[in-house]
Structure 1
Amino acid sequence: MSIELANQQSPLPASLLPALEVRGLVKHYPGVKALDGVDFHVNQNEVLGLAGENGAGKSTLLKALVGLVRPDAGQIYVRGEKVRMRSVVDAANHGVGMVFQEQSLVPNLTAAENIVLGSEGPGVRRGMYRWDTMRKLAQEQLDKIGSTIDPRARTDTLTFADRQMVEIAKVLRIEQRTRFAPVIILDEPTSVLESGEVETLFTQIRRLREFASVIFVSHRLDEVLEVCDRVTVLRGGQSVGDVATAGAVPGDLHRLMIGSTGSDDHYHDSSIERPAGEPRPRLTVRGLSGPSFRDVDLDIAEGEILAIVGVHGSGREDVCRALFGAQETVAGEVTLDGKKLDLSGSRAACSAGVGYVPAERKIEGMVGPMSVADNMTLTKQGVRCVGPLVVPVRQASVVDTWISRLSIRTPHRGTAIQRLSGGNQQKVVLARWLVGGDIRLLLLDHPTRGLDIGARSEVYKLMRELANTGVATLLLADSLEEAIGMADRIVVMSDGRITAEVACPSGAKPTPLDLVKEMV
């Protein structure tokens, strides 16, 4: 292990030293100063929240803590000892592990194999797995977090929430490699969990506090305040304040995150423009059925935002994908502006003026190594090509216009999109459907997932602007509050069927409880 003793021995006893401390951490990328002298610490047996807008430096800081990024300056201390994290293995040797936002499990292995992978110890003898021993080792970690998952279960048969538990159990194996009590980093662990699953996760985090320290990262500020003891806020690559969660409200964190009080009009209701007369119907769905949904009837008018809500497995995601030609259907008819919509594939949907922003942005919504410019014009070749050839000047003009209009923070249009923050990646994905000027129906599957409060507000503003131009929007919201705040009407789905429709006029919005009653 590459441990260097601090220059001066701390006068504090070991039990009072921070479990992990960062002093003056600096990291430069071309054109960007991602970390600008960050200071923060997490105490022993504490749950520390880490909050900040997209681009504030959170991801870079976490990667530095687990050895994926080497800082240009600054120090990291574990229990008062200065350390250098040169790799993930190095970080594990110091007792620091991370559950990544994008899960890192091997799907065709069992839970036990994933948990002990890379630290099999007595689970392997002479190059051969000792299956009983390996399962026992995995069960020890699952027992620590109170999980009832069968270690023999294949990982790809588990729910997302259960896979999160396997990830945590896997990280806890670092106890076998170090003399330190572990520091567990949870990066956006609730981003795709339902409310009941979130409560289960919070129970496990409180259990972890008994023998470990936890750094909890989430854009959902109410969750940060509920589960954490204290919150450190980053802004512009710097730590700008600590907030004790007792008595704090999300607005306290928001003010630190953006440096101002922000706007009370979070959903931009004041920008709604209602056309004179009765709006024309844009999308009409009758009797649409597929493997996970049946007999779905929907109507969306020009400029209307319709939200579909439902618990996991309700079928709403598959309905959204079916309207883009990305999910099989077996019956039904769909018309767009009075003409039958071809559901045979996504190419036909694009040609008809249908856009789709998928929930899994990094998997289905963008090509990471490709540039901002190429991602933005991926489905609209006509805006950048003359015949079969790309005309760089033509592409640059269109892309720069939308970078400016959407305030996309990027060093250059040629920057790889994977280098951008999540909020700016999402703006590029949205811009893809706007550059051609022919969008008529926009399908948004959790468009604000993983975005901070400022980036979410910018997405809401764009949705309002598109609605004002007549674009019809189908929204699968990230929360009931988001659906209520943005929708003109809300449709409830359960077990693959529509079970209710709820009016959602401005000034007379339903409550989350009103919707939950229809969902269960």
Structure 2
Amino acid sequence: MIPPANPEIGQQPHPMVPALEVKNLVKHYPGVKALDGVDLVVRQNEVLGLAGENGAGKSTLLKALVGLVRPDSGEIWVRGEKVRLRSVVEAANHGIGMVFQEQSLVPNLTAAENIVLGSEGAGVRGGVYRWETMRKLAQEQLDKIGSDINPLARTDTLSFADRQMVEIAKVLRIEQRSQHPPVIILDEPTSVLESKEIETLFTQVRRLREFASVVFVSHRLDEVLDVCDRVSVLRGGQSVGEVATAGAAPADLHRMMIGSTGSDDHYHDQAYERSAEPLRPMLSIRGLSGKTFRDVDLEVAAGEIVGIVGVHGSGREDVCRALFGAEPTLAGEVTLDGKRLDLSSTRAAVAAGIGYVPAERKIEGMVGPMSVADNMTLTKQQSRCAGPIVMPKRQSSLVDRWIERLSIRTPHRGTQIQRLSGGNQQKVVLARWLVAGDIRLLLLDHPTRGLDIGARSEVYRLMRELADSGVATVLLADSLEEAIGMSDRIVVMSDGKATKHVPCPSGDKPTPLDLVKEMV
């Protein structure tokens, strides 16, 4: 049931009045126009998809809708009332809540505290938490999305996927907090979820449509078409059109996003031929064990891409982190190019010629306030120095060359990396290892997470260029299709063990179903 209108803010709108409307929204940043007259209409009781390449303006628009960014001009209307959203609290008071792509939870609080944060209600009396009440309030939201997370678990002990479910449960509390039919924004909510969790989320989104309006953002265009009623497309900070999802195809959206026809096989290697020469072993793992994996055996040859697939909790992410010295190991031996590998620290891994692109880009992959140039040369300081002396011209020349080569969209090499779109941030993180020039093993943990079709294709091209140069690559792909399309071999992990090694040669690829049978 829709809660009654708050008389202090406004009455229930006429059914034809949009739940949310944006008119000619403009936002400038130094050297770039993030929004250039964006228009958007979200109808009552619908799921509106928002699509666009990285850098199209989606993130800036969403932040404006939840009070994190103040537009330079334009108007925002909520249920027929013109509003100024100067904070997240003001947006929430108008019934607007958001699940952020880059998580916004407080890590040292429990899941329950995060879920009810700012709207504790009966969970607090006299400034003191009533833990059982808090647990029940949080459990009510977790039950809606079918999650078995312990509400009293500390958030920093949960996996990334579980933290994403806590984010979703948290924003659902707006149903109780707001006196309006809510507008819920989901920014890349499925990026780290497994197929079962995604279907659970979609069920919840469809339920929300009955009494709320939803803005759904995803680079997975098939998901957008599956769960949304309409899709609005941004390009270059402008609204370029919308399409009803009934009868539409991903190629239709891609054409609007970049002006050309997309293809679902952009990662496949029809034109990519392997050398007939035998590949030289580079990475050799024997009996590697850690807290969440055991007795893992794996070999990766120079110039080979090996994908590791498995369901959530299979241990594949921790194996990848252990190889970079970021997770402790309990047993086993790892050699790189014939030499015993020191797994005691990330510093030792980098010194051995190992590069790592983490899944949580903004937390582990970059330093937000630092410039593009400084982030790109962070690992190899000597690339910008002559002895102990920093040589700005040397750094500028090197960084500008990679900015041009990778088509990184940035106003300037000195721009803070946190001001770039997600796709361009990822290119900078990848460029860090290209700048280093001496990488022998590259560990890629969901390198295309949150990237649009064009940016993903560029990442795939870079991966193949690195393979051609002799770099051994371990890939934790964003989807089974991506793993199949990019890998020379695939290792299946289940319950912490490598249970199956699947050949993946060009022209004779396994199907996703072949892998799923081994994963579960």
Report the TM-score, using the length of structure 2 for normalisation. Answer: 0.92
Match of 2:512 in 1: 512
Check if 1:340 corresponds to 2:340. Answer: yes
Local SS of the residue matching 2:408:
coil
Change (3 A) 1:298 1:171: closer
Q: How does 1:80-99 map to 2 (within 5 A)?
A: 80-99=80-99
1:369 corresponds in structure 2 to 369
Shift of 1:359: 1.0
Distance 1:149 1:277 in 2: 50
Give the equivalent residue in structure 2 for 1:419.
Answer: 419
1:251-270 to structure 2, matched below 5 A, reads 251-262=251-262, 266-267=266-267, 269-270=269-270
Verify: 1:199 aligned to 2:171, yes or no. Answer: no
Distance in 1, Cα, partners of 2:279 & 2:448:
27
Please, which runs of 5 or more residues in structure 2 have no aligned partner?
1-5
Which residue of 2 is the match for residue 9 of structure 1?
none
Deviations 1:1-49 (A, max 9, x none): 9x999xxxxxx97111111011111111111110111111111111111
Distance in 2 (CA, whole Å) between partners of 1:331 and 1:112 is: 36
Helix, strand or coil for the counterpart of 1:224?
Answer: helix
2:18 aligns to what SS in structure 1? Answer: coil
1:222 corresponds to which residue?
222
Matched position secondary structure for 1:459: helix
Would the alpha carbon gap of residues 163 and 476 (structure 1) be closer, same or farther in structure 2, given more than 3 Å must change? closer
Range that drifts further, 133-142 or 460-469 = 133-142
Contact in 2 for aligned 1:272/1:468 (Cα 8 Å):
no
Query: Identity of counterpart residues, as a percentage?
Result: 82
Matches of residues 25-64 of structure 1 in structure 2 within 5 Å?
25-64=25-64
Structure 1 equivalent of residue 113 of structure 2: 113
For residues 195-254 of structure 1, give each alpha carbon's deviation from its aligned partner in whole angstroms, at most 9, with x where no partner exists: 111111111111111111111111111111111111111111111121211222211111
- Checking the alignment, whether the CA contact within 8 Å between 2:250 and 2:262 is kept in structure 1 is no
Aligned pairs, how many? 513
Q: Deviations over 1:146-166 (max 9, x none)?
A: 767665555456565554444
Deviation digits for residues 45-78 of structure 1 (CA, Å, limit 9, x no counterpart) = 1111111111000000000001111111111111
The answer on whether the counterparts of 1:42 and 1:215 sit within 8 Å (CA) in structure 2 is: yes
Contact 2:379 2:436 in 1 (8 A): no
Kindly indicate whether the alpha-carbon contact (under 8 Å) linking 1:309 and 1:316 is maintained by their aligned counterparts in 2: yes
Residues 161 and 197, structure 1, Cα contact 8 Å, conserved in 2: no
Q: Which deviates more from structure 2 when the two are superposed, residues 86-95 or residues 318-327?
A: 318-327
CA distance in structure 1 between the partners assigned to 2:320 and 2:132 by the alignment: 44
Residue in 1 aligned with 2:384? Answer: 384
Amino acid across the alignment from 1:427:
K
In 1, distance between residues paired with 2:142 and 2:275?
57
Query: What is the distance in 1 between the residues matched to 2:310 and 2:175?
Result: 40
- What runs of 5+ residues in structure 1 fail to find an aligned partner? 6-11
Instruction: Give the 3-state SS of the residue equivalent to 1:475 in structure 2.
Output: strand
Contact 2:270 2:506 in 1 (8 A): no
Q: Which amino acid aligns with 1:75?
A: E
Worse-superposed segment, 122-131 or 223-232: 122-131
Aligned to 2:398: 398
CA distance in 1, matches of 2:240, 2:177: 34
1:418-497 correspondence to structure 2 within 5 Å: 418-497=418-497
Judging changes above 3 Å, is the alpha-carbon distance between structure 1 residues 495 and 139 closer, same or farther for their aligned structure 2 residues? closer
Q: Which moved more, 1:124-133 or 1:469-478?
A: 124-133
- Report the equivalent of 2:3: none
- Cα distance change on mapping 1:197 and 1:159 into 2, 3 Å: farther
State the 1:347 CA deviation.
1.9
TM-score if structure 1 supplies the norm length?
A: 0.92
Instruction: Give, in angstroms, the shift of residue 111 of structure 1.
Output: 4.0
Select between 260-269 and 156-165 the one with higher mean Cα deviation. 156-165
* 1:419-469 Cα shifts (integer Å, max 9, x gaps): 111111111111111113211111111111111111111100111111111
Query: 1: CA distance between counterparts of 2:311 and 2:133?
Result: 38
Structure 1 residues 46 and 73, CA gap change in structure 2 (3 angstroms): same
